[in-house]
Structure 1
Amino acid sequence: MRVHVAAIGRMKQGPERELASRYLERAVASGRPLGLTGFDVAEYPESRAAAAAARKAEEAKALRTALPDGIVVALDERGTTLGSEAFARRLARWRDDGRAGVSFVIGGADGLDPDFVAGAGLALSFSPLTWPHQLVRIMLAEQLYRATTILAGHPYHRD
């Protein structure tokens, strides 16, 4: 199953981008034997609309047309919280069910359009706190790597 990260906004070169890339590279290596591939990132431009609702709607439209087939996971502070092991099991279940892929979607400064979140296969929250999209991307990349190590039975994850 292909794993895709879609993010509104561009992460600039620097330590944040390097850290996210490092975790995704590790996920690629440890995910391949598990049938998890890709771990690619696509960045989409932020809308220039004047109102936040209009910006979110434009960004959602761009995402809907560009995302590959598969499960859509919207990262949203009002979503479901999962522990690392439950997150890994969810990925494994989608893979085992024969899903083509999963796209994890990170909104821009205004977040994601509520209709987009409602239409996603899963709204996932890392916390009810608001996080900058750069940190969300790092946390997602780390959790994807952690999920591959959990599924592989690697001792990286500690109970």
Structure 2
Amino acid sequence: MKITIISVGKLKEKYLKMAVDEYSKRLGRYCKLDIIEVTDEKTPDKISITQEILIKKKEGQKILRYIKDNSYVIALEIKGETLTSENLAKKIHTLGLEGKSNVTFIIGGSIGLCENVLKRANYQLSFSSLTFPHQLMRVILLEQVYRSFRINAGEPYHK
């Protein structure tokens, strides 16, 4: 299986880069991993609805450029469905059984994803109703994908 993560924004903090590198290395046993960073747009502190839509649209265009036609797309969206780790593992396993060998996860920028990206997504996944920094979300996502592969392989994992 090939897992692609398309994320808005560049990781700046060294500790986050180290965590991403560690989980990327661990995932190498289970899948081919590709992480794509698209540049984020400058977002003013006080932003109008019109500005927000425009920024999301610009970031969305960058994201959509990297999505392959044959990819099953999972958008991380606060309004999406929440799953347990076991159910995320089942979802990934089922996708493989259905022949969907290219799975793309999308992490939006600080103000979320545009409608065009959400429409392209085959599934919307929420990790929580809490708000997380999108840079940290990359680490959380990688850890959960790694955990999913361990669950599916029948290997021990912390509950």
State whether residues 4 and 104 of structure 2, in contact with CA within 8 Å, keep that contact through their aligned partners in structure 1: yes
State whether residues 2 and 39 of structure 1, in contact with CA within 8 Å, keep that contact through their aligned partners in structure 2: yes
TM-score normalized by the length of structure 1: 0.89
State whether residues 77 and 124 of structure 1, in contact with CA within 8 Å, keep that contact through their aligned partners in structure 2: yes
Query: Gaps (5+ residues) in structure 1?
Result: 32-36
**Cα distance between partner residues in 2 of 1:88 and 1:100:** 14
| Structure 2 residue identity aligned to 1:124 | L
| Structure 1 residue identity aligned to 2:136 | L
Larger displacement relative to structure 2 (59-68 or 102-111): 59-68
Superposition map of 1:3-152 within 5 A:
3-29=3-29, 31=30, 37-48=31-42, 51-68=51-68, 69-152=70-153
**Cα distance between partner residues in 1 of 2:76 and 2:21:** 19
State whether residues 24 and 144 of structure 1, in contact with CA within 8 Å, keep that contact through their aligned partners in structure 2: no
Larger displacement relative to structure 2 (64-73 or 77-86): 64-73
**Cα distance between partner residues in 1 of 2:2 and 2:126:** 21
Match of residue 154 from structure 1? 155
**Cα distance between partner residues in 2 of 1:70 and 1:118:** 14
How far 1:13 sits from its partner (Å)?
4.8
**Cα distance between partner residues in 2 of 1:12 and 1:49:** 17
| Structure 2 residue identity aligned to 1:74 | A
Larger displacement relative to structure 2 (110-119 or 139-148): 110-119
State whether residues 149 and 157 of structure 1, in contact with CA within 8 Å, keep that contact through their aligned partners in structure 2: no
Q: Are the structure 2 counterparts of residues 42 and 88 from structure 1 closer, same or farther at C-alpha, using a change threshold of 3 Å? A: same
**Cα distance between partner residues in 2 of 1:114 and 1:83:** 26
SS of equivalent residue, structure 1 residue 98: coil
How far 1:19 sits from its partner (Å)?
0.7
State whether residues 63 and 117 of structure 2, in contact with CA within 8 Å, keep that contact through their aligned partners in structure 1: no
Q: Percent identity?
A: 32
Instruction: Let me know the Cα RMSD of the aligned residues.
Output: 1.6
TM-score normalized by the length of structure 2: 0.89
| Structure 2 residue identity aligned to 1:52 | E
Q: Please give the per-residue CA displacement for 1:18-62, whole angstroms capped at 9, x wherever unaligned.
A: 112211211222x1xxxxx22221000113487111010111112
SS of equivalent residue, structure 1 residue 127: coil
